[in-house]
Amino acid sequence: MGFGLFSVPTLGEQIESLQRGDHVCAISSGTSPVHSVIVPFVRRCLAKREMCFYAIGERAAEDVAAELIQAGIDLEQAYEEGGLALLRNREFMPFEEFDPSAFIELFRARAQRALNAGFYGVGFAVEMNWGLQLDVPHDALIEVEQRLNAEFFPNARAVAICIYERERLSADLLRAALHSHPLAIVNDKLISDPFYEPPELTAQSSEAARVDWMITQLVRSADDREELRRSHDRFRALIDNASDGITVLDADGQILYEGPSAERLLGYKPEEMVGRPARVFISREDVEPLIDKIRLAIENPEEVQTLRLRARRRDGSMIDVETVGKRLRDMANPPCVVFNWRDITERVQLFEMLRQHLESENEYLREEVREASGNSELLGASAGLRRVREQIEMVAPTDATVLILGETGVGKELVARAIHEGSSRHDHSLIKTNCSAIPRELFESEFFGHKKGAFSGALTDRIGRFQLADGGTLFLDEIGDLPMEMQPKLLRVLQDGEFEPVGDNRTRRVNVRTIAASNRDLKGLVRAGGFREDLYYRLSVFPIEVPALRERRDDIPILAAHFLQAACKRFSRSGLQFTANQLQQLQDYDWPGNVRELQNVIERAVIASRAGALQLDIPVDAASESFGTVTDRSASEEQDQVIPDKEMSRRMRDNIVAALKRSGGRIYGPGGAAELLGIKPSTLSTRVSKLGLK
């Protein structure tokens, strides 16, 4: 982690910047070290994908967990991913008698366990009272600390903080601890431990050899100090020759310092600018925003302020400038703000050219999108599909809310797109959101957006789906999976068009048409108390029921021919056709996964085709959901064949593995394995666990 040029890093920032191989001795005052030391250490490990072992002594794990949760650590996710383990004394040191060599091997085993589990390394946070509570001799503890420096940390992807409680441990042990740790935390500061005796020193055979080694280190230290001086000179030269401008302003906008780049960028010498107000050198309309940024920087010293403005050169011409400002901490009183700025005139001109070019192509690209993803894919001539088309034509020109119902894979998204393309909003975006793929705690942020810092992990502002869809259409797929606590908030925005982003008290207004879809019985959910009745009626102003593929079997040859043509083009195959028997098989099958399953079967057949023959595999039995496959054969053979249970289980496993590979290991969401198989994600998760698949 890098620290600001003009700021002093906090202890938390220093801990989060620890590198692999760092071994830290933290001397605590007896109060809980969780907030000052453990929280940033655990946060660092989780952020770097390092498994964290926290030895908590005899404290109750529930109490420690509560402290971590209160500090903002997502323990549920950490436990689920296996990234955090809270170990009491005997869990941390499970031996009846303490053996330093065996204990070091345990460190190695835990580090290897982390790597085997897919983590990038391991972190150890150890409250050293465990040794006192288990009556481990002090010299044995220190032996372990010293041997870890020589035998473990140099080659392991590991970092450790050992917490020594000053009031409970002896002075001899604390002194030995300082001798055996390269880094130390004292009075909330992380420092290089001046008393550290590295393995190279302790390994010397005699006192004279130790003295010789120490003298050699002093010489090297002197050389390092000289190199530091030269580095300072180079850094100063770097500042003096920086391509960006550097300006320091006081609270009133008066220039206190100006870097040498000003002469090249603006035509003024630095001494001509120092002591004058910054407003002299910028456009009139930018004066107030600059003063506002200065005020914000002084009031919020941890925040970086950004601003674009126009600066005036000596010859009167104007240039576009991008500035980044931050308050100088602990270095100036009264406070002042340093701004780094650069000339972006050429970039602004280029962006303007690109904007004009993109606008000239905009209508053409929209037409291409409409052609590629319009309702031309609502293929078929069955009565059920004709009814759907009629309903689309009726409701599309209006702004009515539409509820699309139907089984998984029937084409609800295509219906939603057809409604959008047939509406007056077709020039704006159709924003899609799958409610079943959003974690429960992120629904509000996903729908309404959030402000930076609104919650842990909110590192930047984020625009929500409703704001993205402003002026267009929002498609809420799998609306039946919307949590109850989110339903009144969705109802409000549907009724009033108003919402507040997470962490923001300002109300936003949007003009959005909403289309919802579900494969669940929403009326049944309402009766069971799992879905609000008022929200259901708000969504179902105009319901459209999309028939299952088995209810429109006459459309199967049309769809099959379309998917075959598309798959042949996609996979560069030619000359493939269905036989009459294959078309009959397609029409005889019930297609529990509907159109999506039909498309997958045909794509799989095209991929597996050999010597111009289409190899069509169709699932055995839709009702069983076993997802085994059988090659092309007569209907009578299929009826007579009995498949053993073991073979059926093998076929189910193979098909699930194939679906997971195709989806990149994802179960949930669009394109996930559950969607490819046409079953619920929860059902697939249970089967994956039962089969022992990873």
CA-CA-CA-CA torsion sign (392, 397, 400, 401):
positive
Residue 631's nearest CA partner among 579, 595, 563, 688 is 579
Q: Is the pLDDT of residue 639 over 80?
A: no
Q: Specify the higher pLDDT residue, 313 or 4.
A: 313
Confidence of residue 330 (pLDDT cuts 50, 70, 90): low
Judged by average pLDDT, the poorest of 6-15, 266-275, 378-387, 419-428 is: 6-15
Q: How far is CA 614 from the centre of its chain?
A: 42
What is the number of alpha carbons within 13 Å of residue 165 lying toward its C-beta? 17
Please give the helix or strand (H or E) that residue 44 lies within, else none.
helix 39-47
| Residues facing residue 277 across a β-bridge | 254
Which sequence spans correspond to the domains of the chain? 11-202, 245-343, 378-547, 553-691
Residue 395 CB partners (closer than 8 Å, separation 6+)? 402, 419, 542, 544
Would you say the CATH fold of 378-547 matches that of 11-202? yes
By the 8 A CB rule, do 125 and 52 touch?
yes
Dihedral Cα 111, 114, 119, 125, nearest 10 deg: -60
In terms of residues, how long is the chain?
A: 694
* Cβ-based neighbour number of residue 259 at 10 Å: 21
Max distance between CA atoms of the chain, in angstroms, equals 100
- pLDDT on residue 99: 92
Please give the helix or strand (H or E) that residue 312 lies within, else none.
strand 305-312
The vertex-218 CA angle with 216 and 221, nearest 5°, equals: 115
Q: Which long-range contacts (CB under 8 A, 24 or more apart) does 107-115 make?
A: 107/148, 107/152, 107/156, 107/158, 108/152, 108/156, 110/51, 110/53, 111/152, 111/156, 111/157, 111/158, 113/51, 114/50, 114/51, 114/157, 115/157
Q: Is the pLDDT of residue 12 over 50?
A: yes
- pLDDT on residue 647: 67
Domain 553-691 indexed as CATH 1.10.8.60: yes
Q: What is the pLDDT of residues 57-112, one digit of tens each?
A: 888 889 889 989 998 999 999 999 999 999 998 899 998 889 999 999 999 999 99
Q: Specify the higher pLDDT residue, 418 or 666.
A: 418
The vertex-219 CA angle with 213 and 221, nearest 5°, equals: 100
Q: Is the pLDDT of residue 471 over 50?
A: yes
HEC string for 462-482: EECHHHHCCCCEEEEECHHHC
| Residues facing residue 338 across a β-bridge | 248, 326
Please give the helix or strand (H or E) that residue 338 lies within, else none.
strand 336-343
The DSSP-derived string for 284-311 is GGGHHHHHHHHHHHHH-TTSPEEEEEEE
CATH of segment(s) 378-547: 3.40.50.300
C-alpha to C-alpha distance for 427 and 424, rounded to whole angstroms: 8
Q: What is the pLDDT of residues 113-130, one digit of tens each?
A: 999 999 999 999 998 888
* Residue 556, amino acid: I
541, two tokens:
């102003």
% of residues, the chain, pLDDT over 70: 88
Residue at token pair 């759907």: 388
CATH of segment(s) 245-343: 3.30.450.20
42, two tokens:
């655990």
Q: Could you say which DSSP state residue 33 is in?
A: -
Residue 279's nearest CA partner among 271, 265, 270, 289 is 289
- From the options 3.40.50.300, 2.160.10.10, 3.30.450.40, 3.30.70.260, give the CATH code of 11-202: 3.40.50.300
DSSP, collapsed to helix, strand or coil, labels residue 306 as strand
Phi and psi angles of residue 666, each rounded to the nearest 5 degrees, phi first: -85, 135
What is the number of alpha carbons within 13 Å of residue 162 lying toward its C-beta? 26
By the 8 A CB rule, do 237 and 259 touch?
no
Phi and psi angles of residue 3, each rounded to the nearest 5 degrees, phi first: -115, 155
Q: Specify the higher pLDDT residue, 253 or 616.
A: 253
Residue 595's nearest CA partner among 381, 407, 436 is 407
Computed on alpha carbons and rounded to an integer, the radius of gyration of the chain in Å comes to: 34
By the 8 A CB rule, do 412 and 517 touch?
yes
By the 8 A CB rule, do 479 and 516 touch?
yes
444, two tokens:
């509000």
Confidence of residue 377 (pLDDT cuts 50, 70, 90): low
DSSP, collapsed to helix, strand or coil, labels residue 233 as helix
Confidence of residue 633 (pLDDT cuts 50, 70, 90): very low
